Amino acid sequence: MKYHVTPTNNEKIMREDDFIVSKTDLKGIINYANRIFMEFAGYTEKDLLGKQHNIIRHPEMPRAVFKLLWDTIKSGNEIFAYVKNMAADGSFYWVFANVTPVVDSSGTIVGYYSVRRKPRRDILPFISDLYKKMVEQEKLVGTKDGIEASTKILTDLLNQKKLSYEEFILSI
């Protein structure tokens, strides 16, 4: 079943003690979603389980950020990221996400675990502006070269600040 959701300007703001938790398989198929995830996403457990995690992808999120996320976790490392998600009703909510690989007893990655919490509100205008520039660049150059062009915006910023991505995200 495809979900066609139109984004709105209505924002849901996470509470300080909220933690959105989900688990996926290696392809990003949701196999666990906690109550807070369902509340903010506006989907039932039945709607979410067995679906791609990108069911909540907001169109204002740069594809380059998700490429970085997937490249990082597939290599066995955790990642922190600010993410703008879209609920079933078109509203949006920002999260500060930590995504980690789940490994079996032999060390093989068997899935991914994500915990999202309320982001620092004072950081969101900066992140939102950065993501807007990245998305605009992705649209400008087209699908084929969009991720690379968008990644360059982020890389240039990191080089200017002389920080790795992780150092940057954890320092803002």
Is 20's pLDDT higher than 50?
yes
Residue at 99 is within a domain: yes
Q: Which contiguous run of DSSP H or E holds residue 134?
A: helix 124-141
Residue at 93 is within a domain: yes
Q: Which residues, 6 or more positions from 7, have their beta carbon under 8 angstroms from its beta carbon? A: 58, 59, 60, 86, 90, 92
Nearest-5° angle of CA 167, CA 132, CA 94? 65
Residue at 2 is within a domain: no
Residue at 7 is within a domain: no
Instruction: Check if the beta carbon of residue 112 is closer than 8 Å to that of residue 23.
Output: yes
**Number of domains, the chain:** 1
CATH code of the domain in which 145 resides: 3.30.450.20
Tell me the average pLDDT across 109-130. Answer: 98
Q: Which domain holds residue 148?
A: 19-171
Q: What is the pTM of this model?
A: 0.94
Residue at 12 is within a domain: no
Is 117's pLDDT higher than 50?
yes
Residue at 13 is within a domain: no
- Tens-place pLDDT, residues 30-60: 999 999 999 999 999 999 999 999 999 999 9
